[in-house]
Amino acid sequence: MRGFGWTQNVVAQRHCAFVGCRARAPARRRRAAGDREAAVTVTDSSGAGSYFQLFDHSVRADPYPLYERMRAAGALRLPGAPIVLLTRHADCTAALRDPRASSQNSMPRLRFALTPEGVEVPTNLVAPRHNPSFLFLDAPDHTRLRRLVQKAFTPRVVAELAPRITRFVDEAFDRAAETGRFDAVEDLGYPLPITVICELLGVPLEDEPLLRRLSAALARLLDPAAPTEAGFGVDLADMITAREELDDYFDRLAAQRRHDPGPDLLTQLIAAEDAGDTLSHSELIATCGLLLIAGHETTVNLISNTILALSRRGDVLAELRENPGLATQVIEETLRYDPPVQMMPRVALETMQFGETKVDAGEVLMVIIAAANRDPETFAEPGRFDIARDNRHVSFGLGAHFCLGAPLARLEARIAVTRFAQRMREPRLVADPPVYRMHVNLRGPAALPIEFDGVQAS
């Protein structure tokens, strides 16, 4: 059993073993193993089999029947791996609040646990980083780094962004009125949050295409799959280099801000670094990368998933049009019903118990919040989109790692969908279900074209 004392040296040693074993394995044998994995994915309807089926892109439009099967099994250990899946609301909330469930390097630990014996993988995808983001740190480092940036995301500061966000959203609908075309992802869901987070950080807008490419590659690293070609396909090579490219980008931008400070968050973080040991340079770079990716990749899905739900539910869309104050309830129900982040990893610091399942120290907990959000023990008729329900979703996490950007994501989504309801006349989905992104974890449409009869003037 891999214990909590797992270290980078262990990973390096295992990586060397991977290389030797992989070199001797015939390609025919590796293909056969892949065929066996595919067979499990297609035919096994058990809880563990349902987990593996999540990686079949054909189920991306509706993974919730799979989550239901997994939840029926309770806390479930993946065969052959030190990983326990948590799918029930009570188990997930307990794990997210429990300090014994650690975030420290939880993603590389997950990748290490998922990597089959004898398979070669890039060491930097299974070893802890020298500069992990505070998303994957525990106190005291998590507390220290989070405190440095949280003042930029307080409700008061975020509320001051509302006029700028509203102008951006209205400009998107003005363009739709001129062109007669509108895609909720390309024209609104993606450009809005990436523009806002770039402005907050002080990133030049002309660099957005580069950052969008790097962010998309890095977002796939949050998928709970082995870091192999079988796990990520052709995206693996881009994922390996994107992290270094993004680090280099913010290293150069930080150097520019030292010579030319601005009224942005990056300048504030540099000032904190220069003040002493509050923030190291590597922590500065990692924090910028986290804020960029977390600041828009998830919000893209939240906006798109909400517009998708409203387009399917004309009655709710009509209610929102008549009463814009319902936007908060619409957003919260989307967060429960179709969350932009589907799961979060944790590592047990000591023995833990979930029902009849014992989790040993060092084992990985996969907290599947998309399954918890549809637990019938907590939510009546969980498969129904109901904006009137008492919403206790866990889509922003709980405890010390509750999502720092939740106020900003909620504001952006609330304004976007309110103006969608007010300005779009008779919106209709061009394709239902839409085409989805490859991502398993950060799940949302790749495109969401909308037909409409007209656009109300702003």
**Interval 90-103: pLDDT, tens:** 999 999 999 999 99
DSSP 23-52: HHS-HHHHHHHHHHHHHHHHH--SHHHHHH
Buried b (16+ CB within 10 A) or exposed e, 135-166: bbbbeeebeebbebbeebbeeeebeebeeebb
Q: Return d(Cα 171, Cα 168) in angstroms, integer.
A: 5
- Asked if 306 and 333 touch (Cβ cutoff 8 Å), the reply is no
pTM of the model: 0.88
- What's the chain's Rg over C-alpha atoms? 22
Domain assignment present for 2: no
CATH number, domain of 189, equals: 1.10.630.10
Domain assignment present for 1: no
The per-residue pLDDT for range 215-233, each reduced to its tens digit, is 988 888 899 988 887 778 7
Q: Return d(Cα 147, Cα 156) in angstroms, integer.
A: 16
C-alpha 156, offset from chain centre: 25
Provide the pLDDT confidence category of residue 243 given band limits of 50, 70 and 90. Answer: confident
Q: Is the pLDDT of residue 327 over 90?
A: yes
Length of the chain equals: 458
Report which listed range, 6-20, 28-42, 285-299, is most confident. 285-299
Q: CA 62, 65, 68, 70: dihedral to nearest 10 degrees?
A: -90
Peptide bond into 376 cis (omega under 30): no
Q: Six-digit token pair at 230?
A: 């079988």
Q: Is the pLDDT of residue 13 over 60?
A: no
- Considering only 207-211, 372-376, 431-435, which range has the smallest mean pLDDT? 207-211
Q: Helix and strand tally (H, E) in the chain? A: 20, 12
What are the φ/ψ torsions at residue 359 (nearest 5 degrees)? -115, 120
pLDDT at 124: 67
Q: How many Cβ atoms are within 10 Å of 234's Cβ, its own excluded?
A: 7
Domain assignment present for 112: yes
Domain that holds residue 148: 8-455
Domain assignment present for 47: yes
Q: Return d(Cα 300, Cα 118) in angstroms, integer.
A: 38
The average pLDDT across 246-273 equals: 91
Q: Kindly state the percentage of the chain with pLDDT values over 90.
A: 67
- The domain tally of the chain equals 1
pLDDT at 273: 65
Domain assignment present for 117: yes
Q: Is the pLDDT of residue 14 over 60?
A: no
Domain assignment present for 418: yes
